[in-house]
Structure 1
Amino acid sequence: MGTTAAYDDLLARTRGLIEATEGVPVVGISGHGGAGKSTLALRLAADLGLTEDQVLATDAFHATTCGPDAGMWEQCDWDALERVVRSAREGRERLRYVYRWWSGETGVEDHPMPSVLVVEGIRLFSDRTSGWFDLAVWLDMDPDEAGARAKARNVLQGDDEAELALWDTKWIPEGHDHERTERPADRADLVLRAAR
């Protein structure tokens, strides 16, 4: 299991990477849906002087296969996400990519490349992403607790009953499956307790 850490440890480690890494280091922040990944990533970005647009979220990389019936690894376009990670490592000056939302809407994001690329999303740590991250951060929260928070958030966002039901039938069970099969906390460098 990764080293249990506090936010200040994450901030210090990330600053150290920026100073020591040739090119753009990549920090991955993962956890279950509702654990607070986006909040943590945006806080880190702000403390490092980055904009929200310079944080890379897997929610912008939905695959054409995504949907209620798609398998656990068929929701994200992993190849497209890897190309963006690789572009940072190659020293590109622009953070440029085609996004695809859950709804199927697509478009282009184009921003200055940040001093560190913060990537946040579910299921980031697995064999398929080995070598992507200079620092892997797992936000620790039980899938049931995280899912309950996500459902409450989505109610406020106005999601319909069918979308809310997916938390019980798909997202939370898949969170348990992911934790059991991939053991993401063991793959992480740092483990932060999710805020409650």
Structure 2
Amino acid sequence: MSETTYDDLLARVRELVATTEGRVPVVGITGHGGAGKSTLAERLAADLGLEEDQVVATDAFYATTCGPDAGMWEQCDWPLLEAVVRGARTGSERLRYDYRWWGGETGTEDHPMPPVLVVEGIRLLNDRTDAWFDLAVWIEMDPDAAGARAKSRNLLQGDDRAELDLWDTKWIPEGHAYEQQERPRERADLVLRAEG
């Protein structure tokens, strides 16, 4: 897959919105932790006139099994995320889901269904999710560089030493493993080089 630009991504999404009938198109944005997924999703949402809370992040779907010792595929509640995507693909008028954050906080999001559903998060392109997305985007950035950027960000957000150390012991190694196992660049429809 050759690399493209943000303007091309925006044009492709607008075309999807204009040509998809009877349901909401779904765009998946993935990359390693710290690669800029949330930033790209927020920019895309703003340019499409979506509300910030109409972007769905896998960070809202931590499984009850998540934690430092959980396996790479045990962090996300994949069935719950799939139900949200299925709702968009089957014509639901509401974007409604229960969330669970890393720290265990829970709640419910309930918003009008946007004209396009943007989903962003790590490990989003895999065997389970191949049929979920009308357009899949991979943000190209080495896991080590992305992890270093994420650690700097999280330090500014107030993460403690144990949380920051997880980047070296868990998140970055899992990023390498994910890229080798799932080949997300090859699964993606579009590849954008990370900014910064």
Shorter-chain TM-score: which interval? Answer: over 0.9
What is the percentage of aligned positions where both structures have the same residue? 77
* TM superposition outliers: structure 1 runs of 4+ over 6 Å: none
Write the mapping of 1:47-62 to structure 2, written as runs, cut at 5 A.
Answer: 47-62=47-62
Contact 1:155–1:164 (8 Å) recurs in 2: yes
Alignment of 1:114-193 (within 5 A): 114-193=114-193
Deviation at 1:51, TM superposition (A): 0.7
Partner residue, 1:10: 9
Q: Counterparts of 2:12 and 2:182 in 1: how far apart (Å)?
A: 24
Residue 110 (1) aligns with residue 99 (2): no
Q: Corresponding residue for 2:35? A: 35
- SS of match in other structure, 2:3: strand
The separation in 2 between residues aligned to 1:181 and 1:88, in whole angstroms, is: 28
In 1, Cα distance between equivalents of 2:153 and 2:65: 25
* SS of match in other structure, 1:102: coil
Gaps in structure 2 of 5+ consecutive residues: none
Per-residue CA deviations over 1:20-75 (Å, capped at 9, x if unaligned) read 01110000000000000000000000000001100000000000000000000000
One-letter code aligned to 1:82: E
Distance in 2 between residues matched to 1:181 and 1:89, nearest whole Å: 27
Query: Whole-Å Cα distance in 2 between the matches of residues 32 and 54 of structure 1?
Result: 22
For normalisation by structure 2, the TM-score amounts to 0.99
Could you give the per-residue CA deviations for residues 81-128 of structure 1, whole angstroms, max 9, x where no partner exists? 000000001111110000000111110000000000000000000101
3-state SS of 1:4 partner: coil
Report the secondary structure of 2:118's partner residue. Answer: strand
Structure 1 residue 7: deviation in Å? 0.0
Deviation at 1:78, TM superposition (A): 0.2
Contact 1:3–1:189, Cα closer than 8 Å, also in 2: no
Structure 1 residue 4 displacement after superposition: 1.3
Q: CA deviation at 1:3?
A: 3.3
Name the TM-score, length of structure 1 as normaliser.
0.99
Match of 1:71 in 2: 71
Please report how far the alpha carbon of residue 195 of structure 1 lies from its aligned counterpart in structure 2 after TM superposition: 0.2
Q: What SS class does the counterpart of residue 3 from structure 1 fall into?
A: coil
Q: In 1, Cα distance between the equivalents of 2:156 and 2:144?
A: 19
Secondary structure, counterpart of 1:136 in structure 2: strand
